[in-house]
Structure 1
Amino acid sequence: MNILFLCTGNSCRSVLSEATFNHLAPADMRAISAGSQPAGQLHPRAVALLHRKGISTEGYFSKSWNDLPLTPDVVITVCGSAAGETCPAYLGPVLRAHWGVDDPGHVVGSDEEIEAAFELTYQIIRARIEAFLALPPMTDKAAFKRELDRIGTLGA
């Protein structure tokens, strides 16, 4: 199963999702991330956080959804609602879910406050991925979609 984590810039939340998913998932599942308007680089705080968690960032980069090396089975958007953020809409024939989380890269404050925002984002993403990976195998697409939608509310 191929999962695409999608947002606008592909520098923070979608990359946190991709790397965390690939770190936790079994070999028959793979995640990739992309953006509709890629930032061109990974957010340094996201990379540092992943390294602190023991998650490799080797091979990860900010990329466009036009350059995907695979066709996803599931597309999960991770855009938040802060600052009027608009999530890209993937139009391919896939199962879609929205796991919105606000972008910690836009948090303004002290280093401690910014780091706390990145940690909270990571914890929400990780909890959702763990819930996804704990799902029993499902052949009913409607039931699977309901579960993905439910998972998208965890930690919100």
Structure 2
Amino acid sequence: MTRPPLRVLFLCTGNSARSQIAEALLNHKAAGRFVADSAGSHPAPRVNPHAIRVLAEAGVPWAGHPPQGADALERERFDIVITVCDRAKESCPIFPGQPVQAHWGMPDPAEVEGSDDAKLDAFRETLCVLQRRVGLFLALPVESLEPLALQARIRRVAEEGA
């Protein structure tokens, strides 16, 4: 019997950059093992165009959904919840089913000031870091690990994929 894909939720503050990029990367590379979604603790009005651009440059399809609040998903069941910013970690809602939770903190590329090139470089760096982390995540034997061991391994991904 084939096991259904594990559901992964990526959370950040605005759901306009980091979490959208992480969702797109995991869905693109998951090969049916995972289904990713993303949300924000305080969703932005729109996805940052630089996030969409760097995904396109990398050949990664973007789901196209607007930023959504984590509260809209509070009744959803996720197997794994990963926060990608410190603010979202502090305000992460409690989801049903006791999902494995981990934190992959990283700077918000949308906060970079300066030229358009400087901003794009920040988004490209975010994409590179998340590509490494998603790659390490996909290499984990998730299906065979107990929840506490899985949580520890997913948390370690942030250190190894920095």
Q: Same fold (TM over 0.5)?
A: yes
CA distance in 1 between partners of 2:160 and 2:120 (Å)? 21
- Name 1:120's counterpart in structure 2: 125
CA distance in 1 between partners of 2:19 and 2:112 (Å)? 17
Which secondary structure state, in structure 2, belongs to the residue aligned with residue 31 of structure 1?
strand
Which secondary structure state, in structure 2, belongs to the residue aligned with residue 128 of structure 1?
helix
- Name 2:147's counterpart in structure 1: 141
CA distance in 1 between partners of 2:122 and 2:56 (Å)? 17
What residue identity is the alignment partner of 1:96?
Answer: Q
Judge which range, 130-139 or 45-54, deviates more: 130-139
TM-score normalized by the length of structure 1: 0.89
- Report if the CA contact (8 A) 1:124-1:154 is conserved: no
Task: Note the C-alpha offset of 1:86.
Answer: 5.5
Q: Report runs of 4+ in structure 1 exceeding 3 Å deviation.
A: none
Identical aligned residues as a percent: 38
- Name 1:73's counterpart in structure 2: 79
Select which of 100, 113, 116 maps to 2:105: 100
Judge which range, 59-68 or 19-28, deviates more: 59-68
Higher percent of residues as helix = 2
Query: What do the CA deviations read for 1:82-121 (whole angstroms, capped 9, x no partner)?
Result: xxx4632231221100001100001012222221111111
- State yes or no: 1:48 paired with 2:48: no
Query: What do the CA deviations read for 1:71-90 (whole angstroms, capped 9, x no partner)?
Result: 2111000005xxxx463223
What residue identity is the alignment partner of 1:37?
Answer: H
Select which of 21, 27, 36 maps to 2:32: 27
- Report if the CA contact (8 A) 1:75-1:90 is conserved: no
Select which of 20, 23, 27 maps to 1:18: 23
**Root mean square deviation, CA, Å:** 1.7
- Report if the CA contact (8 A) 1:34-1:63 is conserved: yes
- Report if the CA contact (8 A) 1:4-1:33 is conserved: yes
What residue identity is the alignment partner of 1:30?
Answer: V
Select which of 89, 102, 111 maps to 2:92: 89
What residue identity is the alignment partner of 1:113?
Answer: A
Question: In the comparison of the two structures, how many residue pairs are matched?
Answer: 152
TM-score normalized by the length of structure 2: 0.86
Structure 2 segments unaligned to the other structure (5+ residues): 1-5
- Report if the CA contact (8 A) 1:75-1:96 is conserved: yes
CA distance in 1 between partners of 2:135 and 2:107 (Å)? 19
Task: Note the C-alpha offset of 1:19.
Answer: 0.5
Structure 1 segments unaligned to the other structure (5+ residues): none
